[in-house]
Amino acid sequence: MAATVSELLLHWYDQHARDLPWRLPPAAPLPDDPSWPYRVWLSEVMLQQTTVAAVKPYFAKFVETWPNVKALAAADEAEIMSAWAGLGYYSRARNLAKAAREVAAMGGFPRTEAELRKLPGLGAYTAAAIAAIAFGERAVVVDANVERVVARLFAIEEPLPGARKAIRERADAITPESRAGDFAQAMMDLGSQICTTRAPKCLLCPLAEQCAAKAKGNAEDLPVKPPKKVKPERVGTAYWIERGEESAREVWLVTRQGTGMLGGMRALPDDGWSAREDGSGEPPIDGEWELLGAVSHAFTHASLTLSVARYAGELLPSGEGEWWPVEQLDDAGLPTLFAKAARLALAQD
């Protein structure tokens, strides 16, 4: 009898699985350890729209600082946001803190996909992945890599997003009852390592003989994606306000509102560009400002050019904020955008 898709894929995975800090070896039994689902959940949240290479150091930092969900639930949210700084998509960190508190209150993670979906920040893919990988539950796990593998395997030529229903149905049809977590991770590995967006390595693929797109010669064309929308361009200004001399220099930082772009993060004060497309807000102090230059940053939904202005007067800012030692600015947990702006300001010294 010919091997099934899942059998072929799992056999390949047993030999070629990536060694990742949040994974078990192939076919390993699930640990009887309450920190295991925590590690799976943490990694899957971090991996949303983020590469494995980028996630590894953050994952290591989080599990060292907060080794289990109770420890994370008890952490100050500002500390979590600071530890997350640079990883992007900061709503994930806010939802991480909320979900940790809910899970700690429940006494542990729910096992099923449906119950996991109720936690903050968990969508269909993430909930299914945690159910399968952490608990061995059969769940249909479809991320961008799996989407690509399935579209090619069955030559689904309908453009996205309309094709997603057919892709999910096909993914469901090949998902086995056993080794659910290994199968999900095997599909992800196949998509990221072999069935790549460009120049797929069909000669190395364990599913090559079953692949309808390979037979038709159009594997690289699938899945069919809609044209990319042009990102709007936004402008704004960040303000560098400093006091002190030499080693005692301090810069004025604020904490952004808990919701919205970069919410809850420490940052330089700005002109409200995130709320106003033209960044037309007033500077935090009346007086003379020196324009130092500008930095560029790409968000998912828009591109931003952020000018950086340095205060040249003697007044001090009022309102909520804190003076932060310039020598320790790396410890402030500034998001990437404001870290760029700070580097520009410091380069002008």
Task: Tell me the β-bridge partners of 272.
Answer: none
- What single-letter amino acid sits at 276? R
Which residues are catalytically annotated?
44
- What single-letter amino acid sits at 152? R
- What single-letter amino acid sits at 119? L
Q: How far is CA 254 from the centre of its chain?
A: 24
**Residue 287 burial by CB count (10 A; 0-12/13-18/19+): exposed, middle or buried?**
exposed
Tokens for 259? Answer: 């919701």
